[in-house]
Amino acid sequence: MKKILLTFVLIVTSQFTLGQNAIAKLKFSEAEEAYAVGDYELTISKLNEAERILKSTNPKILYLKIVAQFDMIEKKTVKSFSVIVNTRSLTKKYLNQYQNLSNIEDKYREVYKIDKALKNYPQTSQDFEIWKEQQRKAEQIETDNKNLIKSMIEEIQTKYEKYKWKTNLTEEEFLSNNTEIKNYKWDRIENKNMMVVLRHTGTPLSVSGYYPNGPANYVINESGIVTSITYNLKTAKNKTDEMKKDFEEMKSEAVKYGKYYTFKDTYFTISVPKSAVNPNEIAYYIHIQLTQVDKWSFMQISFNVNMNKAN
């Protein structure tokens, strides 16, 4: 009878243990899923649940907890100094307990590197508070810069909205968006770069080839996308000084755009970022140029897609 009872207890205990292991595996799987999408706090929570069920840890759980917590530290989303302290403790535990375990060489090496990297982070709670304050100030500066760039983009778009320039438009979309341009007559000129230049067919003002104020030409690439449009902004005869003054005024207004403004000889360029999130990715350029031929002065403005980056 005692043997039967003992056997029954062992069977029940075994089944209970297997059930616990199955649930712990599910928790670990959920932790991996959370880590894959960058939810490190949920990752750690699920790993803690798995440890509570097993009443212990193991190399897989400990490794994932270390890398998740280190990612929080490295990405500066950690909220408490205790996380750094705990991560240091876990790396030491992993390196000591699993140094002779086979088939974990790569993970062991990674934990070793994390252990060394943790030396570069705050060593005391006071250092941690200073570190967090520096981080807060840096984030505020980044936010302010993004807001400035966003305001700059909006200002440029408002200032030049009458030209109705948009990137990544087909010729049909471009003309539909610019009825004024659609009403002009254009000569289509194919060139060796697989571009099509559409040039105003009006009568030039002089042998210079410049036309009265208004659209002068636009360019289509081999994919049928309009990559630039040029307008004759101002045209005058025997008014060199007056035109120079107008050009200098426009140039002085663009200087405030800082690194997005460049000037060379008789033209300046405004580089317009694609967004405040990616301020170094330029969507298009605005060129304004002053040209003098004989007694004539011509000021042109052109909008050009950044050909170094697909838009």
pLDDT in tens, 175-228: 888 887 877 777 788 776 656 676 766 555 554 555 567 788 888 888 889 999
Q: CB 4: neighbour CB atoms within 10 A?
A: 8
pLDDT tens sequence across 245-265: 999 999 999 999 999 999 988
C-alpha distances (whole Å) from 137 to each of 100, 132, 150, 224, 277 are: 45, 9, 20, 47, 18
User: Which helix (H) or strand (E) covers residue 256, if one does?
Assistant: none
> Of all residues in the chain, what percent carry a pLDDT higher than 90?
54
- Asked if residue 289 lies in contact with residue 206, where contact means CB atoms within 8 angstroms, the answer is no
Q: 2-121 architecture in CATH?
A: Alpha Horseshoe (1.25)
Q: How many CB atoms lie within 10 A of CB 201?
A: 10
**pLDDT in the model for residue 195:** 63
pTM (2 decimals)?
0.65
Alpha-carbon distance of 154 to 196, in angstroms, equals 31
What is the reported pLDDT for 212? 64
Tokens of 69: 């917590």
Which pLDDT does position 293 carry in this prediction?
80
